[in-house]
Amino acid sequence: MSKTPVLAPVAGRAVALSDVPDPVFSQGMVGYGAAVDPPRAVVDAIAPVSGKLLKLMPHAYIVMTPDNVGVLVHLGLDTVALAGEGFISHVSQGDDVIAGQTVITYDVPAIVAKGLNPIVPVVVMDERESDNVTPSDAVSTGSEIDYGATLFTATK
């Protein structure tokens, strides 16, 4: 059994996944994890774990760890409709990344100006057991979290 600390990809207020205003995330359809409500500024979104950048889209990315833990970072809700507007990638799909490395620069004010929610869900892909994800104290209390701090721990 392995325990994987998953880092907050952005700073902001830690949010329980069940409180994300999108049923795909709040009901754990994609997997379980937590979320961060980012500051209303341009921020760098970092790799939450070390591994291979399995998928890179302008608004989301998946990092697969050597232990086969796939972590999805989704920058905002319904942001796929922006076709890349408000996002700048700093790496390429297939690259190896280390936890804390900048993946995408995220223009939060541009997302908010479009009327979209900028919250950042972070989930363990295809995790069907919510008990396998242990939220950090910041998530439990809804307090501020710094990017790079442990958002939750995934057990596999």
Q: What is the pLDDT of residue 31?
A: 95
Query: For the residues 137-156, what does the mean pLDDT come to?
Result: 96
Question: By residue range, what is the domain housing residue 63?
Answer: 3-155
Which CATH number is 134's domain given? 2.70.70.10
What tens digit of pLDDT does each residue of 107-138 get? 999 999 999 999 999 999 989 999 999 999 99
Residue 95 to residue 107: CA distance in whole angstroms:
23
> Exposure string (b/e) for 110-129, b if CB count within 10 Å is 16 or more?
bbeeeebebbbbbbbbebee
Of 34, 67, 70, the C-alpha closest to 54 is 70
Query: For the residues 60-79, what does the mean pLDDT come to?
Result: 97
What tens digit of pLDDT does each residue of 41-63 get? 999 999 999 999 999 999 999 99
Query: For the residues 81-101, what does the mean pLDDT come to?
Result: 97
Distance of CA 3 to the CA centre of its chain: 18
Q: What is the pLDDT of residue 156?
A: 86
For residues 117 and 26, the answer to whether their CB atoms sit within 8 Å is: no
Contacts with 27 (C-beta within 8 Å, 6 or more apart), sequence order: none
Exactly one of 7, 72, 73, 74 is catalytic; which is it?
A: 74
pLDDT greater than 90 at residue 1: no
59 is catalytic: no
Residue 34 to residue 5: CA distance in whole angstroms:
12
Whole-structure pTM value: 0.97
pLDDT greater than 90 at residue 4: yes
Q: What is the pLDDT of residue 38?
A: 98
Domains identified in the chain, total number: 1
